[in-house]
Chains A and B, each alone.
Chain A
Amino acid sequence: MEISTDIWVWIAAIFTLFIYSFLYKDNPLYKFAEHVMVGLSTGYYTAIVFHTVIVPDFWEPLVHSISKFTMSPAEFSSYAIANELTTLPTVLQDFSPVVAIIMLLIPALLGLMLFTRFIPKISWLSRFSLAFILGAGSGLAIPNSFQTRILEQLRGTIVEDQGSIVVPLFSIDAWRDFFSAPGIGTFFEAVSGPLLIIGTLCVLAYFFFSKEHKGVLGGAAKAGIWFLMIGFGASFGYTVMARVSLLIGRMQFLLTDWLGIID
């Protein structure tokens, strides 16, 4: 039951209250907290990117590659010991120093070209970098998306894994179990698989844009939107629970760590 004497706990608590003041209306305290948060986070992420990306992935490998290129093997050994270089950067493990330098300078150049946007005369150069980012990003994303979003989902609609055994979702065994021992458990066991299959097909029908939703397609699409809404309802309830736990966490911080009202 003691109020905190830690200055940082006080700062965190005051900023929490400033942000919560938004629930009443926009006010100077919220505006102050908002601006501090945006400024701090931008500065923090800039420093993080500098220390976790630019230095280890570009600057250090470049310096080591140039050193290896300009030094004799004996000199480079001494250099490696002096710089506590236990393992060479990956690019130097796989390529000769000259190739490694080129391999490092190409992405650096593409990165710098993004900054040409600030110089109107040569701002068109930034489009090369953007084209590379978009092309490489899509190319890398497509096989993974195909595997996870299409093939695995397709498989999950046809069969399910029960331990090491693969069982079809539409299984005669489940129905046999239900008829031999009728009950709610065996009924849901028998119905859940076919329901999932029908639900998936109906939702697919809803997302079919090339035909007017009339007749059989219209009926399936209507059922599809019901399946979607039931799914969203369940997801809504589940996520709200998670958000409430976030609020509880913040309240605990205020009442326990800051004010010490709760032990």
Chain B
Amino acid sequence: MNKLLPAIVVGLLFLALPVAADGIEYLDPLVELPPASPVLVIAEDVPDDVGEQINLSWSLSFDDPAVGGGRGNVISYTIMRKEADTDNEFKVLGAVEAGNGQYLDTTCEPDSSYIYLVGASNGNTVAFSNPTETTIASTHFMHSQRWNILIGTLILSGLLLYFIYTARKGKELFIRRIAGLDAVEEALGRATEMGKPIRYVSGLGGMSDVATIASVNILGQVARKAAIYEIRLIVPCFDPIVLAVEREVIKESYLDVGRPDAYDPNDVFFVTQSQFAYAAAVNGIMLRDRPATNFYMGMFYAESLILAETGASTGAIQIAGTDAPAQIPFFIAACDYCIMGEELYAASAYMSREPLLLGGLKGQDWAKFIIGAMIVVGVIVSFFTTSFAEFLTGS
């Protein structure tokens, strides 16, 4: 036994050391052998994009630790790409950690064709899959999940056009009374009697805000009446583009009623694009000019109460209108009349009674009726299945 002991020790050392006495490197079979390559690699064009993405998916290598059955020595997957129909070589595109079976290539050129390889790596060697089939990163003109918007827009546009056509043919279109808008005449009359100016604030929105567009339409009507009654109209603006549009609209209104001489462009002016600096300036103007009437129509934020409270303290008649739900309560609290949400959009049609605008308003009402009907139908259907709602939103 004593003679065998050194031989046993040497034998154990031989097993333990990776380099044997003959100089040949013996690899740890659990770590160093090349892993099994990933299989079923599929490259698919991403739908509804502008042609810059291809999605790769594959079945994990048998040796991926997440699979659990193999050597578990995969540490990452390397993704390589080459342009199809060229002699270019495959270039490394990126890598994902073991356990992931997907990669989104977002660097494609629109309408170009690509071939991909996915390789399982153990840190030393990479075992690549077979090349994928040629895949084109196609540009999609239409978003397949947005058909509902197209259909809805066409239906609503069709309704609007139909009612505008009907109104133009001379059909009488009824609109119910809107108290806040009836008060405009009264407020302008008061300003005329007092010989004081009126002030119109169209909020902090830009020209892409629906509320600002509605506000500009109302301003046109207010300006017409101001021109007729010879009242000074002061319009402090927050946005320079809105300023340009409002000057045009007011000028047009004064021209329409035959009083271009009464229009003073200096009364329509830019203040600043800083929210609270604007509020401070408008407050100051309010206290110094003491207008008889204040209009707040458009998109408002935290400055709404500051403006309306100061206006109320000067004793002016105040008419506000906005579609910002968080600001309506402040206007209700601090103003004499408040035009809420949809009423703001209806205001210009209500005030002008122009067939074109009345037809549009009638079309909007029908759209609301359809939406109400869809809610009723949707609730009944979703009582049994949720797929109706999924169909509506495309989600």
Contact = CB atoms under 8 A, between A and B. Distances in A.
Nearest to A139: B208
A41 B208 contact: no
Given A117-B247, A155-B393, A158-B382, 6 more contacts: A26-B287, A134-B207, A158-B392, A167-B386, A209-B350, A228-B340
Contacts of B389: 155, 158-159, 166
B339 to A, nearest CB: 11
B130 interface: no
Determine which residue in B152, B209, B329 has the highest number of CB atoms from chain A within 10 A of its CB, and name it. Answer: B329
Given A167-B386, A168-B383, A243-B302, A141 B208 contact: yes
Contacts of A143: 146, 149, 153
Contact of A33 (B280, B340, B365, B395): B280
A37 B280 contact: yes
Nearest to A115: B244
A223 to B, nearest CB: 14
Contacts of B390: 166
Interface string A203-243: 01101111111000000000000001001110110010001
B94 interface: no
5 contacts: A38-B274, A141-B210, A143-B146, A154-B393, A228-B340
| Interface size bracket, A side | 35 or more
A67 B226 CA distance: 55
A204 B287 CA distance: 39
Interface string A178-203: 00000000000000000001001100
Nearest to A217: B176
Interface of B: 146, 148-149, 152-153, 173-176, 178, 206-210, 213, 241, 244-245, 247-248, 271-274, 276-278, 280-281, 283-284, 287-288, 302, 305, 325-326, 328-330, 332-333, 340-343, 346, 350, 361-362, 365, 368-369, 371-372, 374-376, 378-379, 382-383, 386, 388-390, 392-393, 395
A133 B175 contact: no
Secondary structure dominating the interface of B: helix
Secondary structure dominating the interface of A: helix
Interface stretch (A6-14, A54-62, A68-76, A169-177): A169-177
B283 A22 contact: yes
Contacts of A239: 326, 329-330
A141 B149 CA distance: 12
Contacts of B207: 133-134, 137
A114 B241 CA distance: 9
A141 B211 CA distance: 12
A155 B277 contact: no
A114 B207 CA distance: 15
B300 to A, nearest CB: 12
A30 B286 CA distance: 14
